[in-house]
Amino acid sequence: AQSVTQLGSHVSVSEGALVLLRCNYSSSVPPYLFWYVQYPNQGLQLLLKYTTGATLVKGINGFEAEFKKSETSFHLTKPSAHMSDAAEYFCAVIYTGGFKTIFGAGTRLFVKA
Amino acid sequence: EPEVTQTPSHQVTQMGQEVILRCVPISNHLYFYWYRQILGQKVEFLVSFYNNEISEKSEIFDDQFSVERPDGSNFTLKIRSTKLEDSAMYFCASTLGQANSPLHFGNGTRLTVT
């Protein structure tokens, strides 16, 4: 079945440290890839997306993600975490031929002072 | 920036009752969706809607669920006879429709079934 996997339901980093949130998809044909962020009591909002072209994509709030076809991955990174980055992050995909967005289970990011 | 709006923000209902969750998608968007998020769990696809009909639905979207676009702006999700396990956050989303279009989400309706 088509799915997307996020490794680690919780990630904790210190303020100023590197953020790395992992995402892998399950398809031989690369899907469209997205990262969404969800702050408490809010809906999801788009951080960034990869469709075609440059494999390193930059998003809002200093986040970026790199599409690696050989690893079927789309990990999210930020060089220096800020307290305001604490939220739930969802990797999502749209597989070829479809319009339905499939979400990973989410990773909750904690940022320690 | 245009946004998706959902009402109410919180709905409490008794088991067996009907509820209608309302959404106003972004005006020029063509595809509309409902997703569900049970507390602490993943965001699950329920249904997609295009050109006044359901284009895809999940196993969760059984006969108890229905969607409607009664006019040019609203998009509703009806649950005919609510169950305890329907308690969740329900998110409406819309897109322009291209395959690589990101979803624009509302802030959700928290449904509590007692």
Q: Residue A15 CB: number of other CB atoms within 10 A? A: 14
Residue A99 reports pLDDT greater than 80: no
d(CA A67, CA A54): 9
**Given an 8 Å threshold on Cβ–Cβ distance, is B97 in contact with A34?**
no
Are B36 and B114 contacting, i.e. CB atoms less than 8 angstroms apart? Answer: no
Q: CA end-to-end span of chain B, whole Å? A: 37
pLDDT tens digits for range A12-59: 999 999 999 999 998 878 889 999 999 987 889 999 999 888 899 999
Residue scoring higher pLDDT (A41 or B57): B57
Closest chain A C-alpha to B71 CA, distance in angstroms: 23
Are A46 and A36 contacting, i.e. CB atoms less than 8 angstroms apart? Answer: yes
**Given an 8 Å threshold on Cβ–Cβ distance, is B43 in contact with A90?**
yes
pLDDT of residue B71: 87
Residue B40 reports pLDDT greater than 90: no
- pLDDT bracket for residue A61 (50, 70, 90): very high
d(CA B25, CA B23): 6
Dihedral sign for Cα B1, B4, B8, B11, please.
negative
Angle at B8 between CA B5 and CA B11, to 5 degrees: 145
**Given an 8 Å threshold on Cβ–Cβ distance, is A99 in contact with B91?**
no
Q: Residue B63 CB: number of other CB atoms within 10 A? A: 7
Are A34 and A49 contacting, i.e. CB atoms less than 8 angstroms apart? Answer: yes
**Given an 8 Å threshold on Cβ–Cβ distance, is B105 in contact with A90?**
no
CA nearest neighbour of B32 among A101, A80, A96: A101
**Given an 8 Å threshold on Cβ–Cβ distance, is A41 in contact with B31?**
no
- pLDDT bracket for residue B105 (50, 70, 90): very high
Residues on chain B touching A100 (C-beta within 8 angstroms): 45, 48, 56
d(CA A85, CA A18): 12
Highest mean pLDDT range out of A29-43, A97-111, B55-69, B95-109?
Answer: B55-69
Question: Phi/psi zone of residue B43: left (φ > 0), alpha (ψ -120 to 50 degrees), beta?
Answer: beta
Residues on chain A touching B44 (C-beta within 8 angstroms): 103
Residues on chain A touching B93 (C-beta within 8 angstroms): 43
Residues on chain A touching B97 (C-beta within 8 angstroms): 99
According to DSSP, the residues that pair with A33 across neighbouring strands are A50, A93
DSSP B17-74: --EEEEEE--TT--EEEEEEE-TTS-EEEEEEEETTEEEEE-TT--TTEEEE--SSS-
Q: Is residue B90 less than 8 Å (CB to CB) from chain A?
A: no
